[in-house]
Structure 1
């Protein structure tokens, strides 16, 4: 696995989401290092300079959590604090669920810890939003890749800066006859937290291998549900933290926000969530100072 790292001290793994790379943690690596930690951000399986196999079934949650757990001894540590954003958050939560002995603490950005449901996820999503839900749109191999790879600059501009096209709390639904990028407006300008150099970095990272392997993460939703049956009803026991933007489409709806306090039955050591006013989905890139402060406070509370 390709990693970016900084600092010395207790190990902190930083797991990126879709469609990103280690670079999404560029602001956290140096801040955590200066605070006395060994911060490590890998390109996860299927991404960037790590790459990965082409088979869909090699991207299950067991593979992804196994990759994170394999890094801990490879980096000379016995335990790590595991932090994940977007898709990296479920990887972090599951890593803490299956190996609490190796996870000193866990933090999720954007995506809260969700217990295993009683039926396959695609069935629940179809009932919620029909076939238009973007995760269902990603299930077929080919169409999503073609759309997202057609113009990488446009793809990253819309995904990272075009969130205003979504009403607060709305589900990202793919319009009939359209594509995933139609969910997002083409931004007239980049926000202050995102530069042309950032767009260029992400574009360059996806130029060689595209979106095929990263999309496989979504194509294992039901397989993950089957593979985690043995943990149904199990609890995440390490100390835990959720950091999220108040305008993040994942948690912005009132129903989700109201359900978060009840998650302590699933994650008993879950701290009070850190809500970032005015922040969207790309949490640690949009609000690096606030995220850095929250993570460092959480880490120091463990000592």
Structure 2
């Protein structure tokens, strides 16, 4: 098991006009790269349980804090967080290490970026492993416009776009409480949604539901990072969804690489009934957990990933 309290010392890597804070394990396995991409509101530290296992299996493990997170660059312009730039950072990371391609692993928003990377730069991705978020089919209506029509203006994706800065301020003012309340497992069945943005509601809720997925020391790593960066840079990823819809309309929507999709059976994110149509070489695995898959079930996640890679 990787010692989460001895997380590697990062290096700052210049890529794509910015700087990424990058953590590594298994540097002695140069030539066999695997890149792990975190979600929202997370940090490279969310892969702490996977790094040692992958390094022990012979991989050069590369784990960036993506732009807007940790001590990576935090550009000011909203459009600096579109899918072109996010995937360009990962291409730049491969170039920095001298790799033509790599296995890419993503969770949550990181999965969205990995799907996008595979569409926009297919020659740089050898295999895809994504957790929680399946391939998002590009329909006829831009994503935020579609969500607003289906879920309403309070839905947090929509709220982040239509009321810029409002939720950011609530999360910034309640960082510890928000992350403590968010990183939970064994949640009760969902109740009827309350009025307002669910993320702001979570940040101001007094008592968390379910059980924590990490101890206080690990939680403090996330809290400290977001107290330093604030939430606006990471929320800006959401503010580019319709821009991303436009950008992805210019590429072939089919992913041909071998892919592994890992769902948590208790996750709130919907499964895709079209996954195999767009990712024909996909294998699907279900794990008995919620959204924070690699942190909730680290050993099972490691076994699943390594078994698939070896197979």
TM-score by length of 1: 0.89
Residue in 2 that maps onto 1:294: 304
**1:6 paired residue number:** 25
SS of 1:295's equivalent in the other structure is: helix
CA deviations on 1:175-226 (whole Å, 9 max, x unpaired) are: 33565242586326853x4100111111110112200100000001111111
Q: How does 1:7-156 map to 2 (within 5 A)?
A: 7=26, 8-9=29-30, 10-139=32-161, 140-156=163-179
Deviations 1:258-278 (A, max 9, x none): x1xx4222111111x11111x
Asked if 2 retains the 8 angstrom alpha-carbon contact of 1:144 and 1:179, the reply is no
1:175-254 equivalences under 5 Å are: 175-177=194-196, 180-183=199-202, 186-187=207-208, 190-191=211-212, 193-231=213-251, 234-251=253-270
1:162, CA displacement in angstroms? 7.0
Q: Secondary structure at the match of 1:124?
A: helix
SS of equivalent residue, structure 2 residue 250: helix
1:12-36 CA deviation, whole Å, 9 max, x = no partner?
0000000111000000111100011
Q: Is the 2:182–2:202 contact (alpha carbons within 8 Å) kept by the matching residues of 1?
A: no
Q: Is the 8 A contact 2:185 2:296 kept in 1?
A: no
Matches within 5 A, 1:250-265: 250-251=269-270, 256=271, 259=273, 262-265=274-277
Match of 2:278 in 1: 266
Which range is displaced more, 212-221 or 292-301?
292-301
Task: Give the Å deviation of 1:115.
Answer: 2.2
The TM-score, its normalising length taken from structure 2, stands at: 0.86
Distance 1:141 1:165, change over 3 A: farther
How many Å apart are 1:163 and its aligned residue?
A: 7.3
Contact 2:172 2:231 (8 Å CA) reproduced: yes
Any gaps of 5 or more consecutive residues in structure 1?
Answer: none
Give the CA RMSD over aligned residues. 2.0
> Take 2:80 and 2:293, find their aligned partners in 1: how far apart are those partners?
28
Q: Does the Cα contact within 8 Å between 2:82 and 2:237 map onto a contact in 1?
A: yes
| CA distance, structure 2, for counterparts of residue 60 and residue 201 of structure 1 | 26
Unaligned runs of 5+ in 2: 1-19
